[in-house]
Amino acid sequence: MRRGNTSLGGLLIITGGLLLAARLLFRNPLFSLDPGDFWPMIIFLAGAGFELAYYISLRAPGLLVPGGILITYSLLFFFETATNWRFAAVTWPVYLLGVAVGLFQLYLHSGRPRGLLTAISIISGIAAACFIVMCFRFVLGIVDLGVLIPVVLLVGGIIMVSGKKRSAGSGSW
């Protein structure tokens, strides 16, 4: 079998596997002939094309950067369309993470330059910090702070009052 047919066959296997998983996991097809549901697959296929172009030739590791970015974004869009964009206000840091994924693939396949790893770490750290803030905001949107703060104060006070008694010489008043 020719090398091009093997690559195309691999792409078809990945695409079919994703469509089947979507059907089985969500009990209805995520993708129909409706272009509104199908567009994340187009982004995924474009990213997979960049990845395959590198792995076929092994000559231009720069192809992995857009491939990693597009595949990461397509996975995010699969999730968003499956949840009717309910979590879009929380998952936006994945856009930053997509860049870090693409650069990390370049790092792995281009002699591992130290400066590139520094950039990847900074971008990943910013993405992680933003994601933590977004998750915290999401939880606080569910929890009523008018109840949470008094409960935290009560629990803290109970722990302080019922805690270990200090001895006379331990510096207590």
Dist. CA 86–CA 125, nearest whole Å: 25
pLDDT at 28: 58
Inside any domain, residue 169: no
Residue 42 lies in domain: 3-162
Total domains in the fold of the chain: 1
**Pick from 5-9, 53-57, 91-95: least confident:** 5-9
Inside any domain, residue 61: yes
Inside any domain, residue 113: yes
Inside any domain, residue 172: no
Give the mean pLDDT of the chain.
Answer: 83
Inside any domain, residue 15: yes
Inside any domain, residue 173: no
Q: How confident is the model at residue 33 (pLDDT cuts 50, 70, 90)?
A: very low
Inside any domain, residue 29: yes
pLDDT at 31: 46
pTM over 0.85: no
Q: What is the tens place of the pLDDT at every residue in 120-161?
A: 999 999 999 999 988 888 777 787 777 878 888 899 889 999
Inside any domain, residue 170: no
